[in-house]
Amino acid sequence: MKTQSEIASFLAKTATNKKIILFDGVCNLCNGAIQFIIKKDKNDIFRFVALQSELGIGICNYIGVDQNKIDSIILYNPGVAYYYKSSAALEIAKNLNGFYSLISIFRIFPEKLRNYIYDYIAKNRYKWYGKKESCMIPTPELKAKFL
């Protein structure tokens, strides 16, 4: 899955009507966030892929995101848009059930301010939460949610 047409074909077949969350697969904070999203994703909206994986790298290249410049979570809605940093987090929250959808109210704050806070947490996430040696391997029950 290296060419853009192969990535597009793969996404068309496997991620139809799904939003894809690209995340740091070795980050404990990120993995915890993904587990939380999976529990709250009652409408089965999301699919997940580690940024470090071949597919994650391919999707980033496909949508034109330079992974060397973005140390962030990315939400990709195929054929529509992609979001990163605080905007991705708020878009994800908007799609969760209940109280969590209200988190999107933080859009009232300027993106520059939201991303400053986001970047501060991202910069310190390994120090505060730790890092795995390799990407998370989903349990058999969760494999369908991971691309």
Q: How far is residue 63's CA from residue 110's CA, in Å, rounded to a whole number?
A: 24
pLDDT digits (tens, 9 = 90+) for 96-134: 877 777 787 888 899 999 999 999 999 999 899 888 776
Round the average pLDDT of the chain to a whole number and report it: 86
Does position 43 have pLDDT exceeding 80, yes or no?
yes
Global confidence as pTM? 0.86
CA distances from 140 to 54, 96, 106, 121, 126 (A): 21, 23, 35, 31, 27
pLDDT tens-digit map of 55-71: 898 999 888 888 777 77
CB 74 within 8 A of CB 82: yes
Reduce the DSSP state of residue 85 to 3 states and report it. helix
CATH of segment(s) 4-140: 3.40.30
Spans of all domains in the chain: 4-140
pLDDT at 1: 52
Backbone angles phi, psi at 59, to 5 degrees: -65, -45
- Is 66 exposed, middle or buried (CB count within 10 Å of its CB: 0-12, 13-18, 19+)? exposed
pLDDT confidence of residue 26: 86
